[in-house]
Amino acid sequence: MSNTPIPIAVIGAGPAGLMAAEVLSAAGISVHVFDAMPSVGRKFLLAGIGGLNLTHAEPFDVFTTRFGERATACANWLQGFNKEAIRDWAKGLGIDTFVGSSQRIFPTDMKAAPLLRAWLHRLRHPAQGEPVRFHMRHRWNGHITRSETSVTSTWQLQFDTPHGPQSVQTNAVLLALGGGSWARLGSDGAWQPWLRALQVDVAPLVPANCGFEVSVGSRKGWSEHLRTKFAGTPLKSVVLSCTDAQGHTFSRKGEMVITEHGIEGNLVYAASALLRDEIAHTGHGQLHLNLRPDFSAEHVLAEVRYPRGSRSLSSHLKSRLNLQAVHLALLHELLSKDALNDPLQLAHAIQHLPITATGTRPLDEAISSAGGVKLEALDDTLMSRHTPGLFAAGEMLDWEAPTGGYLLSACLASGRHAAKGVLTYLNASIWT
Ligand SMILES: Cc1cc2nc3c(=O)[nH]c(=O)nc-3n(C[C@H](O)[C@H](O)[C@H](O)COP(=O)(O)OP(=O)(O)OC[C@H]3O[C@@H](n4cnc5c(N)ncnc54)[C@H](O)[C@@H]3O)c2cc1C
């Protein structure tokens, strides 16, 4: 690349970076997108394996509550690119969407690749505006310096490339480096100390929408029997409930999975922020499962007490309450012999089975991460308060949300919002 500064370097070609590039290119800015990986949007493509849940159909004021204490800040970006706008944007790329039974919104073909292909084509060959230039296998290595003259300020960035280190000069930098999960897809969270060195406040990345490790009594993890026979087995239509020390409660019906190390699955992901924070505060998180949520406590007790004759307890519970092998294995795992033989305790446990979560599974396995660039370190345009001209967007910002399309929605919306901030910044820089 020449020594003339480029107007804007977008680093990170995930959904946040690509959306930022789209806004800037449409405004006639020459955008250069850099990414460490050989191809763009690898995590976006992975999301396509699960059907690519793009957004959610619930009303905007409910939608924004999914961002918890960051609801107000995220609403600021989301109102500029809400669910209708996301659907229109996909349609503009030739991708129809539909609202699923759970109100989640997906592309009709439930795939990410056709959407990404059409998007890249439009970015490279826009009907109006400047084509986006992509520089793959360019890993920003943390080197960044800012030089200021009386008329202008420029950034010097350094990238590791297959041809050795390359320097790039630019008027503004938009970072969209992702969180820290699934590092092999490119977002490895290595940027955390680099931004701290620039005086940008960063909360450590931690797993969100993640699985958990469990302990049973004094033993870490499931018994050999449960692990070998039931790891990978789903528990369908159970209710998971938990409460933290501050009295925040979670209770929802859904599906989860017994794993080699503990538990995971959509229901567990939905409870994961509460459980993770509780483990951080107290060392463990207590949750309860209702294995038969559609029955009253009286009905369960009556069925447990029903004379079982010569039948084993397992076949009795299977025939009276349709409890499956995995339910029975959990009851055996978590109850004492005495409790199993006491109808009152057994009936209570079927609807109130205690499981102790002792830790999250590693960040790399999580669907997303919490933590990242603190929103207080950025102004309303997502520009660093301490280092003007440096913007950030996407999952690398300090917000979190459950699965349900909220993650991609916020990444797309924040990419767009930050790009608008860049336009304001560049315009102001020209005239000052
Ligand atoms: C299995 C799975 C399924 C998912 N399914 C869904 C779903 O259905 N719906 C949903 O809403 N969300 C889903 N998500 C989450 C969603 O994919 C992410 O939140 C989203 O991709 C984050 O977008 P981003 O642009 O912020 O970061 P990323 O998509 O992570 O992109 C960041 C980019 O930055 C690049 N990069 C990082 N560091 C550097 C560097 N130093 N130099 C150069 N480049 C760098 C990376 O290579 C990467 O291309 C899923 C996630 C997973 C793991």
Ligand 1 mean position, distance from CA 174 (Å): 15
Q: Cβ(381)–Cβ(424) under 8 Å?
A: yes
Phi/psi of residue 334, nearest 5 degrees: -105, -10
Q: Note the pLDDT of residue 259.
A: 98
Task: Output the furthest CA–CA distance in the chain (Å, rounded).
Answer: 92
Residue bearing the CA closest to ligand 1, atom 50: 47
Ranges of the chain with pLDDT below 70: 1-2, 150-151, 430-432
Residue bearing the CA closest to ligand 1, atom 30: 178
Contacts of 204 (CB under 8 A, 6+ apart): 192, 371
Q: Note the pLDDT of residue 2.
A: 60
Which 8-state DSSP code applies to residue 381?
Answer: T
Q: Cβ(109)–Cβ(51) under 8 Å?
A: no
Ligand 1 interacting residues, C-beta cut-off 6 A: 11-17, 34-37, 42-44, 46-47, 50, 52-53, 139-140, 176-178, 181-182, 186-187, 190-191, 367-368, 394-395, 405, 407-408, 411
Ligand 1 mean position, distance from CA 115 (Å): 15
Q: Note the pLDDT of residue 222.
A: 98
Q: For residue 160, what are the β-bridge partners?
A: 139, 165
pTM to 2 decimal places: 0.95
User: Whole-angstrom Cα distance, residue 232 to residue 59?
Assistant: 35
* Tens digit of each residue's pLDDT (9 = 90 or more) over 34-48: 999 999 999 999 999
Ligand 1 mean position, distance from CA 83 (Å): 19
Ligand 1 mean position, distance from CA 320 (Å): 47
Q: Note the pLDDT of residue 432.
A: 46
Q: Cβ(285)–Cβ(356) under 8 Å?
A: yes
CA 251 from centroid of its chain's CA atoms: 20
Element (H, E) at 344: helix 343-350
Q: Which domains does the chain have, with CATH numbers?
A: 6-207+367-431 (3.50.50.60), 212-360 (no CATH)
Q: Note the pLDDT of residue 430.
A: 58
Q: Note the pLDDT of residue 153.
A: 82
Ligand 1 mean position, distance from CA 42 (Å): 7
Most informative mutation of 32, 35, 39, 43 for ligand 1 (most atoms within 8 A of CB): 43
In the block, tokens 């012999």 appear at: 337
